[in-house]
Amino acid sequence: MTDSDWLAKRFEDNRAHLRTVAYRMLGSLPEAEDAVQEAWLRLCRADTDDVRNLAGWLTTVVSRVCLDMLRTRKTRREDPVGDDIPEPPAAETGPEQQAMLADTVGPALLVVLETLAPAERLAFVLHDMFAVPFDEIAGIIERSPAAARQLASRARRRVQGVSSAPEADLARQREVVDAFLTASRDGDFTALLTVLAPDVVLRADPMAVAGATANQAAGAPVLAAEVRGAASVAKAFTGRARAVGLALVDGAVGGMWAPDGEPRVVFDIVVSGGKIVAIDVVADPAHLAELDLSVL
């Protein structure tokens, strides 16, 4: 058996797994096949002599390909293939295989996954569906393990209860978040209740909790590691958060306290069905540095 034959066999052994990973990332069978094809081409061009875990290496490669595809969502240009690159093993994508693969991710879940940012989707799929450690996910998305864990956690909250998908319309997100911040500043407890889901969850990192505790007199929200329920969350924000303004947080509308233009505290807000279902308060500078932030 030649080296190329051996490589083709090893790739074929992993094809079904790679196709499943790609499909759960992309939600499209044709795009999943494109991602697997690209992983094959990269394998053929790579020096894998020192690769001890080929399955893990291929999973990383196909994940990076999928991340690029999610970011662009454009037809990927096929590079010319030279004579030195062998044809990939034949793919099994008949109707039975397609139906089996589609069943692994229900339509409702795919709708929710489509609302996630690319890095969120990758972190959630790799960790929650394939048990990939956050240390490895961090290398793929070029963020810290802590940030990868936070992305997966945020995505997990968004996909729980897939019957209420997160709001995808930025204008609607802005309307709800603006109403929340206005009611908070005005001390309007009743108005806060109208924009908070009954089972809303408020979470804050340790630095946010410490900072809020130290600045209660200045109007900081009353934070804890976790607060559940509309009444409790409304109480935490009533008459507070006066200096928090609207911001885009990783592509979704949230809030930000940025004195002198420097982000100090970010409110990562999830809107679903016209209500706020989750709020994450982030003050850890390392995590803040990895967020994509802009003032609205």
Please write the tens of the pLDDT for every residue from 23-46: 888 887 788 889 999 999 988 888
Kindly state the helix (H) or strand (E) to which residue 120 belongs, with its residue range: helix 118-124
- The full set of domains in the chain, from first to last, is 1-105 (1.10.1740), 107-163 (1.10.10), 170-295 (3.10.450.50)
Residue 205: its pLDDT value, please?
Answer: 87
Cβ(101)–Cβ(19) below 8 Å = yes
Residue 100: its pLDDT value, please?
Answer: 44
* Residue 96 pLDDT > 50: no
Inter-CA distances, 275 with 23, 62, 136, 166, 227, Å:
30, 36, 35, 10, 17
Please write the tens of the pLDDT for every residue from 108-144: 566 677 778 888 889 998 988 888 899 999 999 988 8
- Cα separation, 120 vs 137, in Å, equals 11
* Residue 180 pLDDT > 90: yes
Six-digit token pair at 261? 């233009």
Q: What is the DSSP letter of 79?
A: P
Whether pTM > 0.75 for this model: the answer is no
Six-digit token pair at 105? 């991710």
Inter-CA distances, 147 with 29, 122, 236, 263, Å:
29, 13, 26, 17
Amino acid symbol at 148 = A
Distance of CA 59 to the CA centre of its chain: 18
